[in-house]
Chains A and B, each alone.
Chain A
Amino acid sequence: MNDTPTLTLIVVVGVLVAAGVVLLLERSLTRVLLGVILMGNGVNLMILSTGGEAGGPPLIGLTAEDEMSDPLPQAMILTAIVITLGVTAFLLAMAHRSWQLQGNDDVQDDAEDRRILHGGERAEYRRRIRQQRRLLRAEIRLQRAELRRRIAAEDYREARQRDELEERLDEADAELREWIRRSQEEDIGRDEVIQRMQDVGRERADSVEELRAEVDACRVRLQEHARLDREAERELRREARQRIRAQKRQMRAQIRAERERLARAEDSDLQGAD
């Protein structure tokens, strides 16, 4: 009996398997299923061709022994067909279930692949966070510098005021001393002095009193001013701290939200659910 397989069968097997492989590379489960069926049929034909040339039914008494076709490949094919049938039914059910759950029957990405895919996104995101942090830090630095500048300006203004007041105090003191000196120097008639003193002195004495009062008032003002100044500085610092804290909080919230989003994207259970 001729054992060489026919070329027709070989070509058909090749075409079927090739078409099956192409379909198997598709994403849709239904096409994969069709590919599996085509490949299965191709392989079955291949097994059939291993039996050699077709012959009579392999029954003793009906066919001469050298004209019988080989029954074993046919038995194997039958088994393979039954198996393919079962698997086909299962794949169909799975495609249907997949369609029920997510509206398509695509074979989904491997979770690992998805993680790697999100890896780029993750790096980009990390970069963004770092950048934001840098910005925030720069802003904080800026605010601190401003605060220092304002405090320095206040200090300067205060010092000037104090100097001015002290100058005026000195002036008044000097004038008073001058008066006293002159009164001692001009040893003219006591009466005259007294007269003069009474003339000018009264007003001068008034002015000395006034000066003293003014000096005192200035002192009080100075203290008050210093106190206010300190308070303002405290307020300023508090405000800056609050602002920094709020910004930090906001950034943390942002980071958390982003992390959650990424985790969701990675979570295979939720894939396609949103």
Chain B
Amino acid sequence: MESLLHYLVPLPVVLPLFAAGLEFALGIRAPRLHKIISVTTLTVVLAIGLVLLFGSDAHGPQVVHVGGWEAPIGIALVADRLSALMVTVSAAITLGVLVYSIGQGMADRDEVTPLAVYHPTYLILVAGVSNAFLAGDLFNVYVGFEILLTASYVLLTLGGTQARIRAGATYVVVSLLSSVVFLIAIGLVYAATGTVNMAQLAVRLPGVPEDLRLVLQVMLLVAFAIKAAVFPLSAWLPDSYPTAPAPVTAVFAGLLTKVGVYAIIRTQTLLFDGEAVADLLMWAALATMLIGILGAVAQTDIKRLLSFTLVSHIGYMVFGVALTSVQGLSGAVFYVAHHITVQTTLFLVTGLIERRGGSASMDDLGGLAKLSPLLAILFFVPAMNLAGIPPMSGFLGKLGLMQAGVQAGTPLAYLLVAGSVLTSLLTLYAIARVWNYAFWRAPSEGMVAEPGTVLETSEEDDDSATSAYGPEEEAIGPSSRVDTVVGRTATLGGRTVVTTTTFPATMIGATAGLVAMGLAFTVLAGPLIGYSQRTAEELLDRSPYVEAVFPEGVA
């Protein structure tokens, strides 16, 4: 049994890729089949993630040498505790968002695109994310990044409306820049050490001259910090995420930045000595927290506000990494898992709010708590969780990080602790503002759109699209406009969105499921914190990872 465990490692990458290929082959004729394939695949990936989670916890890191080529020559996929946890959480999140988006009818809103691209692209995104988590090879991490980035470009500009093209342009250019920096760093690492295998690098990098090592470390850090939206490199995020459809924004906000955080954790622990840039990371974390949350306080659009809180809370994870202690890392790992869930949930709820009230701007919303109590509960729980109200997991995560900060005991660490308390309070303020405006205040006349109001999201874009494509587009249009959505006439981001008082059960169910998952982090806090402790110890020890990849010792 144990000897078979490692065969599961490549599946989170391979299965979604195969499923995506299958869906492409099926084409647009079988939208139902697409849904079945996607949901089944992600469920299986989630199950595999769980098995790997327990397996790697019990039996140490699981390694697969792809193609049977031994480590330094072939590519290794490694599932240690951190990777397994990330794969599991990401599979759970992506599954939830997928179910939500099926409810929303996203997958069938392909009027503007001739192929049903949503499902396959989504699966490719999942494959890329899993690949980045599991890769045991720096270049393979790059490939994973590129897979998920390319898929994310497509998802972000889905439908090709003007706002999305505008936001997409920024996102693509920034991502390309980070990829180039990453690639340069890989080239330099290879030039310096003659390998890109991470386990081998862990052994060889200490032999590299210190200055050169610092250059490599900082270059990789810059590349990952752009992805993770750490402060001086975070300006692109609040602008590009909110324009995408709600499920896409949700999965981007939850996952993509965390891939960057994962990469930072991995390189800072396995490849380099985290101490070297600890102070730099501390200051970056402080700036990310405070500037991010100040941006959130100034927003009126809920999606933009949440994007800013996302940036701000990345600071907590960077803080944990910068502490380079077991407590700090363990706090960071726990916080990553918590934050992925909560942030995704909040974006999904915002999608529901938009659907109910006709807007995501606090100025146009009011009295939702009375109009839709269910929505209010779905928003309130993850919102309080994000702000860190005890006994939710947000509180536990922050508490763990602050304890680690106090244990470190340096003046800078105390400053960071103060900063994180302040950030937490400001988060509560920003979230409470949303609550007061959108849910509690009495709506003035005509403020909340009546159910059935058509929100013309992209009227003029469609006109231009039709005129640009001409008859071709018209010919493709009707055939792909098969509306198999459960009782919904609305399609988001396509022609029209209609506000409604009732939501499809899948949307509510998926959101409620994720809210429950956020709460489960509280219930299971004991085992989870134990797990993240062991993860942190494993990360700082390095040897389990290296020995798993090279059982016979490093060449």
**A interface residues (Cβ-Cβ under 8 A, vs B):** 5, 24, 29, 32, 36, 39-40, 43, 46-47, 49-50, 72-73, 76, 79-80, 83, 86-87, 90-91, 94, 97-98, 100-102, 107-108, 110-112, 268-269, 271-273
Q: What are the residues of chain A within 8 A of B165 when measuring CB–CB? A: 94, 97-98, 101
A32 lies within 8 A of B173 (CB): yes
| Chain A: CB-nearest residue to B238 | A112
The reply to whether the CB of B494 lies closer than 8 angstroms to some CB of chain A is no
The reply to whether the CB of B243 lies closer than 8 angstroms to some CB of chain A is yes
B150 lies within 8 A of A86 (CB): yes
Q: What are the residues of chain B within 8 A of A86 when measuring CB–CB? A: 150
Tally A-B pairs: CB < 8 A: 102
Distance between Cα atoms of A179 and B468 in the complex (Å)? 111
| Chain A: CB-nearest residue to B457 | A269
B139 lies within 8 A of A111 (CB): no
Give the residue among A24, A46, A108 with the most B Cβ atoms within 10 A.
Answer: A108
The reply to whether the CB of B184 lies closer than 8 angstroms to some CB of chain A is yes
Given contacts A50-B191, A98-B169, A107-B170, contact A36 B243 (CB under 8 A): no
Q: Which among B163, B176, B183, B464 is the interface contact of A269 at CB below 8 angstroms?
A: B163
A46 lies within 8 A of B187 (CB): yes
Given contacts A46-B184, A72-B190, contact A100 B177 (CB under 8 A): no
The reply to whether the CB of B146 lies closer than 8 angstroms to some CB of chain A is yes
A43 lies within 8 A of B187 (CB): yes
Q: What are the residues of chain A within 8 A of B183 when measuring CB–CB? A: 40, 43, 47, 80
Given contacts A76-B186, A90-B154, A100-B468, contact A268 B173 (CB under 8 A): no
In the assembled complex, the CB of B177 is this many whole angstroms from the nearest CB of chain A, namely: 7
B162 lies within 8 A of A36 (CB): no
Q: What are the residues of chain A within 8 A of B70 when measuring CB–CB? A: none
Distance between Cα atoms of A83 and B440 in the complex (Å)? 49
Distance between Cα atoms of A160 and B464 in the complex (Å)? 79
In the assembled complex, the CB of B124 is this many whole angstroms from the nearest CB of chain A, namely: 11
The reply to whether the CB of B460 lies closer than 8 angstroms to some CB of chain A is yes
Q: Which among A29, A112, A269 is the interface contact of B169 at CB below 8 angstroms?
A: A29
Q: Which among A80, A90, A268 is the interface contact of B166 at CB below 8 angstroms?
A: A268
Q: What are the residues of chain B within 8 A of A39 when measuring CB–CB? A: 180
Dominant SS among interface residues on chain A: helix
Q: What are the residues of chain A within 8 A of B460 when measuring CB–CB? A: 273
B180 lies within 8 A of A40 (CB): yes
Distance between Cα atoms of A47 and B180 in the complex (Å)? 12
| Chain B: CB-nearest residue to A267 | B163
Please name 20 pairs of A and B residues whose Cβ atoms are closer than 8 Å in the assembled complex, sorted by A: A40-B183, A43-B184, A43-B187, A46-B187, A47-B183, A79-B139, A90-B153, A91-B172, A94-B168, A94-B169, A98-B165, A100-B465, A101-B461, A107-B173, A108-B166, A112-B239, A268-B167, A269-B161, A272-B162, A273-B162
Distance between Cα atoms of A86 and B243 in the complex (Å)? 23
Of all A-B residue pairs in the complex, the 9 with the closest CB atoms, nearest first, are: A50-B191, A47-B187, A108-B166, A110-B239, A269-B163, A107-B169, A83-B146, A101-B162, A100-B468
Given A73-B187, A91-B176, A269-B161, 18 more A-B residue pairs with CB atoms under 8 Å apart are: A24-B177, A29-B169, A32-B173, A73-B190, A83-B179, A87-B153, A87-B172, A90-B153, A98-B169, A101-B464, A102-B162, A108-B170, A110-B235, A268-B167, A268-B243, A269-B457, A269-B458, A273-B162
Q: What are the residues of chain B within 8 A of A271 when measuring CB–CB? A: 162, 166
Given contacts A79-B139, A90-B154, contact A43 B190 (CB under 8 A): no
Give the residue among B157, B166, B304, B464 with the most A Cβ atoms within 10 A.
Answer: B166
Q: What are the residues of chain A within 8 A of B170 when measuring CB–CB? A: 107-108, 110
Q: What are the residues of chain B within 8 A of A112 when measuring CB–CB? A: 238-239, 295
Q: Which among A36, A79, A91 is the interface contact of B180 at CB below 8 angstroms?
A: A36
Q: Which among A87, A98, A272 is the interface contact of B176 at CB below 8 angstroms?
A: A87
Given contacts A83-B146, A101-B464, A110-B170, contact A76 B239 (CB under 8 A): no
Q: What are the residues of chain B within 8 A of A98 when measuring CB–CB? A: 165-166, 169
| Chain A: CB-nearest residue to B162 | A101
Distance between Cα atoms of A95 and B243 in the complex (Å)? 18
| Chain B: CB-nearest residue to A105 | B169
A94 lies within 8 A of B180 (CB): no
Q: What are the residues of chain A within 8 A of B243 when measuring CB–CB? A: 268
| Chain B: CB-nearest residue to A110 | B239
The reply to whether the CB of B160 lies closer than 8 angstroms to some CB of chain A is yes
| Chain A: CB-nearest residue to B150 | A86
Q: What are the residues of chain A within 8 A of B191 when measuring CB–CB? A: 5, 49-50
Q: What are the residues of chain B within 8 A of A43 when measuring CB–CB? A: 180, 183-184, 187
| Chain A: CB-nearest residue to B173 | A32
The reply to whether the CB of B14 lies closer than 8 angstroms to some CB of chain A is no
